[in-house]
Amino acid sequence: MIRISNTMTRIKEEFVPLTPGEVRMYVCGVTVYDYSHIGHARSAIVFDVIRRYFTFKGYRVTFVKNYTDVDDRIIKRANDAGVTAREFAERFIAAEREDMASLGVLAPDIDPKATEHVPEMIELIERLVACGNAYPVDGDVYFAIGSFPPYGRLSGKNLDDLLAGARVEVDERKRDPRDFALWKGHKPDEPATASWPTPWGRGRPGWHLECSAMSTKYLGPTFDIHGGGLDLVFPHHENELAQSSGAGDGFARYWVHNGLLNLSGTKMSKSIGNTLATTEVIKHWRPVEVRYYLGAAHYRSTMEFTPEALDEAAAAYRRIENFVERAGEASPSEELPAAFVAAMDDDLSVPAALGVIHSRVRDGNTALELGDAAAAQAALSDVLAMTSILGINPTEWADTASDELVSTVDNLVRVALEQRANARARKDFPAADAIRDQLADAGVIVEDTPTGPRWTVKGH
């Protein structure tokens, strides 16, 4: 029995799926106006582990994660770059997919884009207008917060307090300053390619509307889990809930939110410019070590990024890796240690689960030292099974590690050859010869050809 913290009820609840044996799960993805950062990576890894664990428990999981591929920032940056908003967004969608794959995050079953689901959004707005929960004005369409008394139940916000809130835009056309945009009318300075025809004129969707339309299209009007970062609870998820419920949909039954990753005490965010790109981080630590680090804390906790903490996580992962390398080969256990299952059943407690893994690593190392092959193999089987669920099984990352080693050697040799070329250019031939000899001592044979130096590893 899995128990999971539900943001809506603020308690840890037994998970009971809407359809026995199935889990339908929607997670808010990124707005693709820049490269993804490790805050995005943390959220992706959290829900990847949750997805993997439900699969291990025997559920058939349908996992949907969207891309917001049109908004003010995308349009502005695309204009500045001299490309269409679609071209600009596709560039960062491709980069995000590559980043997540490098961290072992499984691809979603469905990864819808907002721009490809405008008809569904228009249909949802029409339902809201028809039942009095929304109203058009000058090409825009707003959700009428006053028409939905339960507004605020997810985030715990008080409607009266929102009047003075900094998040509320001032717009005299609104019936209530707290009302939010479902549809934004086309502006003269915006490209026509970033707008769509509707009964209210050309325009584009509001951010909150997208997820309501896409989640229910693929998962039905009521589904099991809606996930995302804690920063999305308000206003994004609160508004999603209001518009979907207002239209008559049951929407999400469990709301699951991961804690944020801070940098220097501040939430990591592209909008305020304090981010670490995923591609930059994995230049300094192996992707599997980054995955271990970002997934090691409880998913609901806030993390403070520091290089020292990542170094410690990398060392912890290498203890697992070293044991697996020493212990040889074994098949993963079909039945996991009870303590591991208990930890994961209890609100997906990865810290406790990692404690079980490291305990079995210690058992295995002791068995190896005592020459107890059977006990070592049993420990190895358990470790392989548990680490697979967390996406950090060393045997599954072996090819990646090999590729990374080849890439590292290639980069080092290229640096040495560049230094040799510089020495030859300044006619310092003794220095050039010394670099070639040092490479030869390391097993790298350099051959000068008409098209430049070519190198091979001795014996290959």
Per-state percent for the chain, helix, strand, coil, to nearest 5:
50, 20, 35
Q: Kindly tell me if the per-residue pLDDT of 132 is higher than 50.
A: yes
Contact yes or no for 222/18 (Cβ under 8 A)? yes
Could you tell me if 226 and 341 lie in one domain? no
- Gyration radius of the chain over CA positions: 26
Q: What is the mean pLDDT of the chain?
A: 91
Q: How many domains does the chain have?
A: 3
Q: Which range among 59-68, 166-175, 214-223 shows the weakest confidence by mean pLDDT?
A: 166-175
Q: Is residue 289 part of a domain?
A: no
Q: Do 99 and 190 have their domain in common?
A: yes
Q: How many CA atoms lie within 13 A of 428 on its CB side?
A: 11
Query: Is 93 contained in some domain?
Result: yes
Q: Are residues 181 and 40 in the same domain?
A: yes
Q: pLDDT category, 430, cuts 50, 70, 90?
A: confident
CATH number at residue 214: 3.40.50.620
CA 415 vs CA 88, 144, 282, 437, 446: distances in Å:
33, 62, 20, 15, 13
Higher pLDDT, 445 or 104: 104
Q: Is it the case that residue 352 has pLDDT exceeding 90?
A: yes
- Owning domain of residue 187: 20-263
Residues 226 and 256 in one domain: yes
Regarding whether 245 and 126 lie in a shared domain, the answer is yes
Peptide bond just before 235 cis, omega within 30 deg: yes
Is the distance from CB of 339 to CB of 356 less than 8 angstroms?
A: yes
pLDDT at 95 over 80: yes
DSSP state of 221: S
Query: And the tokens for 279?
Result: 């591609």
| Residue labelled with tokens 């209210």 | 200
The alpha carbon of residue 416 and the mean position of all alpha carbons in its chain are separated, in whole angstroms, by 37
Contact 52, 392 (CB under 8 A): no
Last residue of a domain, one of 263, 297, 313: 263
Task: Please tell me whether residues 240 and 360 are part of one structural domain.
Answer: no
261 has pLDDT over 80: yes
pLDDT value of position 168: 46
Q: Tell me what the mean pLDDT of segment 77-100 comes to.
A: 95
Same structural domain for residues 134 and 244? yes
Q: How confident is the model at residue 402 (pLDDT cuts 50, 70, 90)?
A: very low
Indicate whether 453 pLDDT > 90: no
Same domain, yes or no: 143 and 242: yes
What crossing angle do the helices spanning 398-425 and 429-441 adopt, rounded to 10°? Answer: 160
Burial 23-35 (b: 16+ CB within 10 A, else e): bbbbbbbbbbbbb
Q: What pLDDT is attached to residue 80?
A: 92
Considering the domain boundaries, does residue 337 fall inside one?
yes
- 108 in helix, strand or coil? coil
**Distance (Å, rounded) from C-alpha 376 to C-alpha 457?**
36
Residue 438 confidence class, pLDDT cut points 50, 70, 90: confident
Spatial CA neighbour of 112 closest among 43, 64, 63: 64
Q: Which of the four pLDDT bands, split at 50, 70 and 90, describes residue 170?
A: low
The pLDDT of residue 98 is above 60: yes
pLDDT at 459: 47
Out of 344, 364, 396, a domain closes at: 396
Average pLDDT of span 432-448: 81
Phi–psi pair at 332, nearest 5 degrees: -60, 145
The rounded distance, in Å, linking the Cα atoms of 167 and 162 is 8
pTM: 0.85
Do 342 and 235 have their domain in common?
no
Do residue 366 and residue 433 come from a single domain?
no
Q: Which of 209, 243, 263 is the last residue of a domain?
A: 263
pLDDT of residue 450: 54
448 band by pLDDT with thresholds 50, 70 and 90:
confident
Residue 185 lies in a domain: yes
388 and 434 fall within a common domain: no
Closest CA to 78 of 66, 90, 94, 68: 90
Residue 214 lies in a domain: yes
Burial label for 441, CB within 10 Å (0-12, 13-18, 19+), is exposed
Please report which confidence band the pLDDT of residue 337 belongs to, taking 50, 70 and 90 as the band edges.
very high
**Domain contains 307:** no
- Does a structural domain hold residue 143? yes
Indicate the pairing of strand 261-263 with strand 266-267.
antiparallel
Whether 112 is covered by a domain: the verdict is yes
pLDDT > 70? residue 74 = yes
Query: Do 128 and 56 fall into the same domain?
Result: yes
Angstrom distance (rounded) from CA 19 to CA 76: 43
